[in-house]
Each structure stands twice: as structure tokens, then as C-alpha cells.
Amino acid sequence: MQHTLRELLTDLTYQIIQGSEDITLTGICMDSRKVQPGNLFLCISGYRTDGHTYIPMALSAGATALVTEKEVDVPDTVTVVKVEDARYALALISAAWYNHPTKDMTVIGLTGTKGKTTTAHMVKKILEEAGNKTGMVGTNGAFIGDKKVPVEIKNTTPESFDLQHIFSIMKEEGCRYVVMEVSSQGLKLNRVAGIDFDYGAFLNLSYDHISPTEHADMKEYEECKLKLFSMVKKSVIFMDTEYSEDFYNAAKNPVTVSLKGNADYVVSNVRNVWNDDLFGVEFDLREPDGKNNHVSVAMPGYFNAENAAVACALSAMEGITEEIMDSALRKVSVKGRTQIIPEAMSKAIVMIDYAHNAFSSECVLQMLREYNPKRLVCIFGCGGNRAVSRRIGMGEVAGKMADLSIITMDNPRDEELKDINKGIIEGIDKYNGKYITIDDRKEAIRYALDNALPGDIIVMLGKGHETYQEIKGVRYHFSEEEVILDYFAEK
């Protein structure tokens, strides 16, 4: 693939400092270590490094053009393009490099502090149930159907060049829709500039990402999230937060969702459900035309009613029927996020969740307590090389809320497992909680399954979607889901 520089700069405001826009480029790059002859090198000013300092390395590797934010002194043979924001330029240039793939797909962006991953999976499942090939980008990676896209990504919202590469693959494979999680950092750093968004959805906003390396305060955090709604054609706004009104006012063609009434889609009668074929929540959803629909979701928790209602509103805007939505949501599952293993339901409810601190663990255990299990069995450990207070806190929560805790391994890293478990036990003992210790996580899970009683809920906390155990600098393959499925395959 090749483009002229002029083609890549079409949507940008820029200044040619020297050289020609009509040169042909072999690629674009922002890592001087990966530059190839004939590349355009973009000088990104980051938190820790300034790409301008790597210009000599990029030129020695064969870069023939630069995008800069500053004045630079380079040979006359090098074309220099000056822009105000190189990250923004990277996003638009990347979209142009891949021939604007999102213009040929319907793109749905989801933003919020919590629930993005779950809601994205719900929307994807509904679209697929309606017969649409759908791509998804988010915390768990990039997927087309169940197949992972072979592009390495490190963030919930990847760098713009990687994003556009992913979109180009999705387009080539015939995706009609793309559902993506849009993080505040992705918006702040202009990773999603150049994407042709059709829909945006706001879920919630809470004090989770205020830090020196993320957002200075809630005002800046909210302003970054609001940027999405200047980029979309239609919006769905969940109205039950203190920030919802701001997002409603910023949204284009907004459709509203609420559990409190006075919205286009009103959720009511939310209730837990646990029967032979479904463990999750049910609710009634009143649509804009006044019609009432019954929705069942195969994921537990009141918050999943909120996520599902937003997913239904988005799907309805694309003309998908209530029957298809309900069918899809009865089957939806998110790896590592209140993930129920259907193969285990004849024996007990078995759930995998990523909760790995006291607050998130308490939220999960409190939610499961509401189902009134015969016993609530909690399998967990704590990561090594982390604050001792975290392991004590998780122990306190389990000691207070679980009927039995099985203490085991969870990424001990460079610490000894017995030292980690000592902190957990200290926390459990504060509430005289019942516990046993089984160091091998596989054996801990098998023990819980061997001893499960009808009406039990067994929850594994901490690993979630991870497929490894990190011990002394080495990552060994380990999947809780695989352990559970292998157990029942043997029976």
C-alpha cells in the first residue's frame, strides 16, 4: 500500500515547511525503531518522551517526510509538515492511509466509567443474532465474531493507526457493524479522531480515573467523554447519573434511557432470576411508542439491566425486533465479567469475575447474596508486588460475606505465595470467616466443584479473562474457564 503525502493530508490544517506534498510514501510510523525507507515519521509529544528527539534515528532509517509540532533542522531533501497537534494528525492520516474504512460500516461508540465492555458485548450479540457480521474493539481485544483480529493492542481504545488497521480488516472481512469501547484517554489523546461514528452511548461517570497520568479532575474527565458526542450522528443517553444532563445537552439526536421514568425507554420491575436455564436479571422496558417488552439477561446484577436497556435502545434505532434482542440477551456472556458457565448449572452456579480489590469484590459478593444461595463459595488470591492492604481488604470482604473462602494463587509475581496468603487470612480472621487454603488454583476450583451442593454459588475472583499465571517473571498458561469445562467434560 502506498499514498502520496497530499492524499494523507486532505482533512488536516497544516503548513509545508519544506519539501513537496507530492512525494509517495511507503508507510507511516511514530516509533523511530520501526521506521522503514520511504516512511512518514510523526513526532508525537508524549507524557515521557518527545518524538522530535528521535528525528535523527528516523532519518537514518530512511524516513523521507516528517510531521512535527515544532521547528526542526533537517536536510533539504526531507519534507517537513508542521501541525498544531501531531496525535490528531496521526489519527486523520491513519484513516486516510487505510482509505477511511469506517465510512463503509455502522460504528457504535460506547463511553462511561463502568459497563463499556459488557454493553459492547450485548450490542454485538444482538446485532449478530439479527444476522449481521459485527466487529468489536475494547478491553478484551478486537474481534470479528469469535475470532481475534491479529493486531496487537495495549489499551481499551488502541492508538489511532492500530485502530484504523483493525477497521480495515473488519471492512475487508465484510463487517456491517463495529461496536467499540471509547475510553476517556482515547478521546483525550485523539485516538478516535477520523472515525465516522454513527452512534454514541453514555453509560455513567464516576471518580475512577482522576490521577496525574489520566485526568486532573472530574471536569476534565467529563469534557473528554463529551467529545464523543460532537462526533456522532445519533446518541443514547442513560439519564440516571448526576452528569447525564450534560451529555444529553451535548448529544445529537438523543434517545434517553432511565429506571426513574420520563425517558424514551423506561426500565421497570427489575428482578433477579435463577431457574434451570437462566441465572441473571429480568426487567420490563417501555419503548417510545408505549409498548412494554419483557427482557431477560443471562448476566446477574441490577447494573446489567441498565447496560441491557442501553443496548436495546441502540439496537431498536437500527430496526432490530424485541424478539431478537431478548433471544440474544438470554445467551450473552462476557469473558471474566460476571461470566456464568452454563455447562455447570446442573451442579451449581459457577461464575468468573475480574474483581481484584476489596471494593469490586464486595460489589460482586453483595450482588450474589441477593440471589439467596445455599452457600456462597469464593475462590480467590491476590497479586504479588502489590499493596499489602489490598490482600487484607479482600480477605475482610470474603470473611464477612462468603460462607467459604478457598484461598489460592493469583499472579504471585516475585512474592512467595505464603506471604500473600498470610495477609488474606489476616483479613478473613477479622470476621471469623471460614476458609481453606489450596495453593494450586486448578485444584482449588476442582475442590469447589467436587464439593458443590445444590443451590450453591461458586465465584472465582481476580483472574477474569486472563489466561495466565505470572510467577517469578514467567507467565504460565492458565484459564479458569478451561479448567471448569475440562472438569465437566470428564464427568
Across-strand partners of 110? 181, 201
How far is Cα 436 from Cα 419, in angstroms, rounded to an integer? 16
CATH of the domain at 68: 3.40.1390.10
The per-residue pLDDT for 210 is 61
Cα separation of the two ends of the chain: 53
pLDDT in tens, 295-341: 999 999 999 999 999 999 999 999 999 999 999 999 999 999 999 99
Residue 181 lies in a domain: yes
The per-residue pLDDT for 213 is 62
**Whole-number Cα distances in Å, 230 to 54, 92, 113, 234:** 34, 16, 19, 10
Residue 381 lies in a domain: yes
Quote the radius of gyration of the chain (alpha carbons, Å): 25
H/E run at residue 7: helix 5-8
CB 159 within 8 A of CB 142: no
The per-residue pLDDT for 208 is 59
Domain co-membership, 190 together with 324: yes
Arithmetic mean of pLDDT over the chain:
95
Whether residue 400 has pLDDT greater than 90: yes
H/E run at residue 122: helix 116-129
Domain co-membership, 142 together with 272: yes
Average pLDDT, integer, range 193-203:
98
Whether residue 252 has pLDDT greater than 80: yes
The rounded Cα 128 to chain-centroid distance in angstroms is 19
Domain co-membership, 82 together with 196: no
The per-residue pLDDT for 246 is 97
pLDDT bin (cut points 50, 70, 90) of residue 211 is: low
C-alpha cell at 316: 431498536
Domain co-membership, 273 together with 128: yes
H/E run at residue 327: helix 322-329
Helix intervals (H) in 380-463: 388-401, 417-429, 441-450
Domain co-membership, 221 together with 115: yes
Residue 483 lies in a domain: yes
C-alpha cell at 123: 450490542
The per-residue pLDDT for 212 is 66
Domain co-membership, 93 together with 155: no
Whether residue 216 has pLDDT greater than 80: no
Percent of the chain with pLDDT over 90: 92
Q: Among 97, 115, 149, which residue terminates a domain?
A: 97
Domain co-membership, 109 together with 234: yes
Domain co-membership, 382 together with 464: yes
pLDDT in tens, 426-443: 999 999 999 999 999 999
Q: Among 68, 97, 126, which residue terminates a domain?
A: 97
Give how many domains the chain has, as a whole number: 3
CATH of the domain at 154: 3.40.1190.10
Q: Which of 132, 117, 106, 112 is nearest to 328 (CA)?
A: 132
Residue 287 lies in a domain: yes
The per-residue pLDDT for 83 is 98
Q: Among 274, 305, 329, which residue terminates a domain?
A: 329
Collapse the DSSP code of 19 into the 3-class scheme (helix H, G, I; strand E, B; otherwise coil) and give the result: coil
CATH of the domain at 458: 3.90.190.20
Domain co-membership, 149 together with 53: no
The per-residue pLDDT for 239 is 98
pLDDT in tens, 7-48: 999 999 999 999 999 999 999 999 999 999 999 999 998 878
CB 194 within 8 A of CB 94: yes
Domain co-membership, 275 together with 402: no
Residue 334 lies in a domain: no
C-alpha cell at 461: 475472583
Domain co-membership, 169 together with 64: no
The rounded Cα 427 to chain-centroid distance in angstroms is 31
Range of the domain at 38: 3-97
The per-residue pLDDT for 140 is 87
C-alpha cell at 16: 509545508
Domain co-membership, 115 together with 260: yes
Residue 143 lies in a domain: yes
